[in-house]
Amino acid sequence: MDECLVIVDRDGIIRLLNQAYGRFLGVDPAAVTGRPVTEVIENTRMHIVARSGRAEVAQIQLIQGRHMIASRYPILDRGRPDGAIGIVMYRNTDDLWQMNAQVRRLVAELDYYREAMAESGAGAGTMIGESAAIEDLRARLRKVAAGDATVLIRGESGTGKELCARALHAQSNRASGPFIAVNCAALPEELLEAELFGYEPGAFTGARRGGKPGRFQLADGGTLFLDEIGDMPPSMQVKLLRVLQSREVEPVGGTRSVPVDVRILAATHRPLERLVSRGQFREDLFYRINVVPLDVPPLRERPEDIPLLVEHVLARLARRMGRRVPAMDEDAMALLRGAEWPGNVRELENAVEAAFYLSEGDHIGVEDLPGGLRRSARPAAPQGTLRQVLDRAEREAIEAALRATGGNRMQAARQLAVSKSTFYEKLARHGIRPHFRSDSDDPERP
């Protein structure tokens, strides 16, 4: 066994020290058998456990300047202590802390994917919205999902292209298989091939000892989602095209091809037709992936879906934080509906999340929304015809001038830079009668 093991009798004499422990201590197990454990193992408590009969589990022990984690268990004969068995669980506490950090990271990752699967597992039903654009997208998804055709999902950044891909997978015959996503723009060119196709042991410096399967192999029997495929380097486009044609991948450093059964979903926010005309994207690859095109509408084209999206985000945040779902007031909601949202749903989610944490109590107001959003809000559209808008502005300017001059019509006319006759005509047309502090204040009074 790889773990360090020692057995002592009731008097603390070593009866067995395995090879792993001998290598760790730098001693010959046969040579130390029969010697007191206190002479062989530094800071040991084996002799104490052998007499007391009480176990000591996961205890820190300093040996040769290193802190180890050891457990000591008594050997009982008819209930009486008759020796002890010691096992070193970790030969260095750094190993324990690294494992704990890894476990915490994996648990956090598991929680994230559980939440993501809970939101996306229901398929197209999780695409929040009731607008005509979303209903049309749902209908197209249902038609396309059942087959194995390659789908190209197009839309601006942040519109939810991956959510659309997950919905396709969840409604397909491959729903029980894996859904593997890879962002073609996030990986350097020299790593993208190894990530997609895997590599054999020793394929390059730093490769894992046993090699590594690629995303195509991991997605076997399921769906592979190639996000931002428009950013794939030209050299990789050739290799991807070959895989799509042959349905076989050849790992880096390998000599044989591996068959794969994978449905390809691709997505991009870039104009592929323009890239093809410039020679930046292969035309044959474009036709290979553009079998069924799907367009995800930007948020600005479906503002009626914003209240539903806001409600969904707030409910998710409230569940995560154990809070009551706050209500968003009408002014704040109107501001959200009037925003341009160049970042689409992702930008909306970030704004709502910021407001959730900045708000107090169960209410979100305009003041809780991000400052940039408040400053960039579009002004409300004017009410009425142009003539009505101009008349209101003119009346407000005349009334403001009269208030500033205490009702003196001559001074108000000069302030507005109009003649006395024109000013009087406008007073009559708008039905404005100045109010004076006293009759004698009006210079025009006969």
Indicate which CATH number applies to the domain containing 351: 1.10.8.60
Q: Are 409 and 434 in contact (CB under 8 A)?
A: yes
Cα(105)–Cα(2) distance, rounded to whole angstroms? 26
Give the pLDDT mean for 299-316.
Answer: 91
Q: Are residues 136 and 177 in the same domain?
A: yes
Chain CA centroid to CA 82, Å: 57
Strand partners, 172: none
- Per-residue pLDDT at 233 exceeds 80: yes
The runs of H, that is alpha helices, within 185-292 are 189-197, 215-218, 234-246, 272-277, 283-289
- CA gap 55, 180 in Å, rounded: 47
Cα 359 to Cα 8, 52, 100, 212, 251: the distances in Å are 64, 59, 35, 47, 52
Q: Is the predicted pLDDT of residue 124 greater than 60, yes or no?
A: no
**Is the same domain home to 328 and 225?**
no
Integer angstrom CA distances of residue 405 from 397, 433, 436, 438: 12, 14, 10, 13
Instruction: Report the C-alpha gap between 207 and 126 in whole angstroms.
Output: 39
Specify if 412 maps to a domain: yes
Res 121: pLDDT: 44
Q: Do residue 140 and residue 174 come from a single domain? A: yes
Q: What is the mean pLDDT of residues 247-260?
A: 85
CATH number at residue 249: 3.40.50.300
Q: What is the CATH number of the domain that holds 400?
A: 1.10.10
Determine contact, residues 324/318, Cβ cutoff 8 Å: yes
b/e string for 41-78 if b means 16 or more Cβ within 10 A? beebbbbebbeebeebeeeebebeeeebbbebbbbeee
Q: Are residues 143 and 85 in the same domain?
A: no
Give the C-alpha distances (Å, rounded to integers) separating 107 from 97, 99, 111, 172: 15, 12, 6, 29
Residue 62 lies in a domain: yes
Decide if 167 contacts 123 (C-beta within 8 A): yes
Average pLDDT on 115-122 reads: 52
Identify whether residues 227 and 261 lie together within a single domain. yes
- DSSP assignments along 377-409, one per residue: PPPPPPPS-HHHHHHHHHHHHHHHHHHHTTT-H
* The pLDDT of residue 214: 87
Instruction: Give residue-wise pLDDT tens across range 182-224.
Output: 999 888 877 888 889 888 876 666 666 667 888 999 999 999 9
In 3-state terms, what secondary structure has residue 5?
strand
| Contact yes or no for 295/155 (Cβ under 8 A) | yes
Residue 414 in any domain: the answer is yes
Instruction: Identify which of 50, 18, 20, 54 has the alpha carbon closest to the alpha carbon of residue 36.
Output: 50
- Give a yes or no: residue 106 inside a domain: no
Tell whether 130 and 80 lie within a shared domain: no
Domain region containing 65: 4-91
C-alpha distance across the termini of the chain, in Å = 118
**What type of residue sits at position 216?**
F
**If you search the block for the tokens 């989610």, which residue do you land on?**
349
Residues 199 and 151 in one domain: yes
Tokens at 42, concatenated: 């530094």
- Among 83-87, 122-126, 328-332, 349-353, the minimum mean pLDDT is found in 122-126
All residues at 6 or more sequence positions from 180 whose CB lies less than 8 Å from its CB, including other chains = 215, 218, 219, 222, 223, 224, 225
CA distance 7 to 185: 57
Do 280 and 183 belong to one domain?
yes
| pLDDT of 142 strictly over 60 | yes
CA dist 21 and 337 (Å) reads: 68
Give the separation between CA 135 and CA 297, rounded to whole angstroms: 11
Highest mean pLDDT among 189-193, 268-272, 324-328, 360-364: 268-272
Residues 143 and 291 in one domain: yes
Domain total of the chain: 4
Alpha helices of 172-254 — where are they, by DSSP H?
A: 189-197, 215-218, 234-246
What would the mean pLDDT of 374-398 be, rounded to a whole number?
74
Q: Of 243, 274, 295, at which residue does a domain stop?
A: 295
Distance (Å) of CA 395 to CA 398, 414, 425, 432, 440:
5, 16, 12, 8, 25
Stretch 45-52: mean pLDDT: 94
pLDDT tier for residue 323 given thresholds of 50, 70 and 90: confident
CATH of the domain at 22: 3.30.450.20
Residues 6+ apart with CB under 8 A from 366: 329, 331, 332, 335, 374
Q: What is the mean pLDDT of residues 33-58?
A: 94
Answer yes or no: do 329 and 191 share one domain.
no
Tell me whether residue 8 is in a domain: yes
Domain boundary (348, 375, 402) is at: 375
Domain end marker among 273, 295, 317: 295
- For residue 61 the two structure tokens come to 């022990």
Number of other CB atoms surrounding residue 3 within 10 Å: 12
Q: Give the span between the Cα atoms of 352 and 358, in whole angstroms.
A: 10
The residue length of the chain stands at: 446
- Cβ partners under 8 Å of residue 271, min gap 6: none
pLDDT at 305: 92
116-133: average pLDDT: 64
Q: Does residue 146 lie within any of the structural domains?
A: yes
Residue 189 lies in a domain: yes
**Together in a domain, 40 and 87:** yes
Asked, for residue 32, whether it belongs to a domain, the answer is yes
Kind of pairing, strands 212-213 and 223-227?
unpaired
Yes or no: say if 57 and 45 are a contact pair by the CB < 8 Å rule. Answer: no
Q: Is the dihedral of CA 423, 425, 429, 432 positive or negative?
A: positive
What's the average model confidence in pLDDT over 48-54?
A: 94
The pLDDT assigned to 375 comes to: 72
CA distance 366 to 339: 13
Is there a single domain that holds both residue 164 and residue 276? Answer: yes
Contact residues for 154 (Cβ-Cβ < 8 A; gap 6+): 161, 267, 268, 269, 293, 294, 295, 296
